[in-house]
Amino acid sequence: MPADRPADLAATVWASTFVPSKSPIPGYGQDGYSVAWVDTPDGRLQVLVSGPRPAPGTVGRIVEQTLGETKILLFDADPA
Partner 1 sequence: MTGTHIAGIGVTPFGKHGDRALSDLGVAAAEKALADAGLDYDAVGEVFTSSSMAPPQTGLKVAHRLGRTGIPVTAIESASAGGMVALRQAVWAVASGRCRIALAIGYEKTTALEPGGVVPAAVDFWDRFPPQVHYAIEASRWLHDAHCKPEVIGAVAAKSYNQARLNPLAARRNDDEVTVEQVMSARMIAEPLTKMMCHASVDGGAAIVVTADHRPRSVAVAAIEQTSWPRDPSWPLAGPCVGPPSQITLTAARAFDAASVAPTDVGIVSLHDMCASEEITALIALGLADTVEVAELAQSGGLASGGRLPTNTDGGCLARGHAFGATGLAQIAEVVSQLRGEADLRQVSDPRIGLAQAMGGGGSCVVAMLGR
CA gap 67, 44 in Å, rounded: 24
Question: Rule CB under 8 A: is residue 6 a binding residue for partner 1?
Answer: no
Smaller CB distance to partner 1: residue 14 or 65? 14
Which residues, numbered 46-75, are part of the site for partner 1 (CB under 8 A)? 46, 53, 55-56, 72
* Contact map string, positions 9 to 48, toward partner 1, x by CB under 8 A: -----xxxxxxx---xx---------xxx-----xxxx--
